[in-house]
Amino acid sequence: MNLQPDFERLRKTVRHEEPDRVPLCEVLIEYPIQGKFLGRQVTQDDLGSQVEFWARAGYDFIPLTVGMMSPGKVTQESSISRVIRETMLKDSPDSRDDKAWNLEYTSFIKTREDFEKFPWELASQLDFSKFHQVKDLLPDGMKVIAVSGKIFTLTWMLMGFNHFAMSLIMDEQLVADVFSKVAEIQFQGLEAILKMPYVGAVWVVDDLAFGNGPMISPQAFGDHVFPWYREMAARCHQKDLLFFMHTDGDVMPLMEDLIQMGLDVLQPIDPTCMDIVKVKEMYGDRLTLVGNVPNELLRSGAPAEVEQYVKNLIAQVAPGGGYCVGSGNSVPEWANFDNFMAMREAALKYGGYPIKR
């Protein structure tokens, strides 16, 4: 099976055509898994090894983060955490205590005054160094997918979820203003990456739903979140870039909105609460689906079970294009490496077009 990176493979799938094989696709594979694959340690700063991993493992792109928050360790490794630690808590005795700055524990914008004094200017200083470094490392056919977004997640994290949710009804203007500021910064990042010809897509990573449905009403998403993503999708399409979204949870009540806003690809079709076959039947002609191999299976299953799962998945949703094999979220370090390999190898073994049922 052809392992040569070819971003056109992915583009063809998104056009609902059948390329040579079903593409592999992940928004995040943690460094220890990459290291096991390459047989040597891979670190956050070792971009050469990261590119080598994604290319040799059969992916057509490498995902690189631009924005205030990265997927995975969302608050620990993100620029927004650095800004909070280095400015807001600079003189505080609590600055060494992660409960004082980590947005998983705390929040900073409760009032209009908090909003006004938040260091937005510093938060908007995004780091593009990896994007500049990577262009000389990419093998032929491989592109970068810029991981961005988190407009919704970052807004509620800055405000604290309960406070955000209640303010959405009781102080809607404050919420709208925080959304605007966060989106403005993400758009600055977007404008810079749209000028980079080796970027093939933008991947917004923003969890919109719990397992039992959307975190806020579809109406509230329509008022405050989707207009930003509609604009982002339009800017991407103007530059011939694809527009991806990652969201956990059951987003069935939001599917029409997501399609209407110009989404090309949805990942990971959360297997804990969504039926990918049903999603494919209902929306598969308008949207490409990625993922759905359960993380619990990758953690605790046997490689043979993973292989069978991927084989069935490909048979059910890959014919005609519009599907890429991937995990049900991302590939964390606690995934069993043999199961990651089984997922990947099954995709290569059973994913050649035309699909044999």
Partner 1 sequence: MNRSIEQIKEAVVAGKHKEIVGLVETAVKDQIDLNSIINEGLIEAMDIVGRKFGTGEIYVPEMLVAAATMKKGLAVIQPLLKGAASQPKGTVIMCTVKGDLHDIGKNLVIMMLEGAGFRVIDLGVDLSAEKLVDQVVEIKPEVLGLSALLTTTMPEMQRVIAAFQERGLRGSIKIMVGGAPVDAKFAAKIGADGYGKDAGEAVQLAKRLIGVH
Report the residue number, 5 or 72, with the smaller CB distance to partner 1.
72
Q: Which residue is it, tokens 């099954």?
A: 346
Report the residue number, 13 or 327, with the smaller CB distance to partner 1.
327
Q: Smallest distance from the beta carbon of 94 to partner 1, in angstroms?
A: 16
d(CA 189, CA 199): 13
Q: Smallest distance from the beta carbon of 207 to partner 1, in angstroms?
A: 11
Q: Smallest distance from the beta carbon of 131 to partner 1, in angstroms?
A: 30
Report the residue number, 190 or 209, with the smaller CB distance to partner 1.
209
Q: Smallest distance from the beta carbon of 211 to partner 1, in angstroms?
A: 5
Residues whose CB falls within 8 Å of the CB of residue 93, separated by 6 or more in sequence, listed in order: none
d(CA 154, CA 182): 7
Q: What number of CA atoms fall less than 13 Å from residue 352's CA on the CB side?
A: 6
d(CA 251, CA 304): 30
H helices of 70-217, where? Answer: 79-83, 98-101, 112-117, 120-123, 129-134, 151-159, 161-170, 172-193
Report the residue number, 260 or 272, with the smaller CB distance to partner 1.
272
Q: Smallest distance from the beta carbon of 329 to partner 1, in angstroms?
A: 10
With beta carbons less than 8 A apart as the criterion, state whether 48 and 137 touch: yes
Report the residue number, 100 or 220, with the smaller CB distance to partner 1.
220
Residues whose CB falls within 8 Å of the CB of residue 75, separated by 6 or more in sequence, listed in order: 69, 81, 102, 103, 104, 157
d(CA 148, CA 205): 6
Q: Smallest distance from the beta carbon of 273 to partner 1, in angstroms?
A: 8
Report the residue number, 247 or 295, with the smaller CB distance to partner 1.
295
Residue 339 one-letter amino acid: N
Report the residue number, 219 or 312, with the smaller CB distance to partner 1.
219
Report the residue number, 29 or 335, with the smaller CB distance to partner 1.
335
Q: Which residues pair with 246 in a beta bridge?
A: 205, 267
Q: Smallest distance from the beta carbon of 251 to partner 1, in angstroms?
A: 13
Q: Which residues pair with 285 in a beta bridge?
A: none
Q: Smallest distance from the beta carbon of 176 to partner 1, in angstroms?
A: 14
How far, in Å, are 34, 165, 166, 168, 212 from residue 181 at the CA level?
A: 35, 18, 19, 16, 29
Report the residue number, 66 or 168, with the smaller CB distance to partner 1.
168
Q: What are the structure tokens assigned to 69, written together?
A: 């928050």
Give the number of other Cβ atoms within 10 Å of residue 223's Cβ: 16
Residues that bind partner 1 (CB under 8 A): 104-105, 161-162, 165-166, 168-170, 210-217, 220, 253, 272, 295-296, 299, 334
Q: Smallest distance from the beta carbon of 309 to partner 1, in angstroms?
A: 16
Angle subtended at Cα 266 by Cα 264 and Cα 267, rounded to the nearest 5 degrees: 145
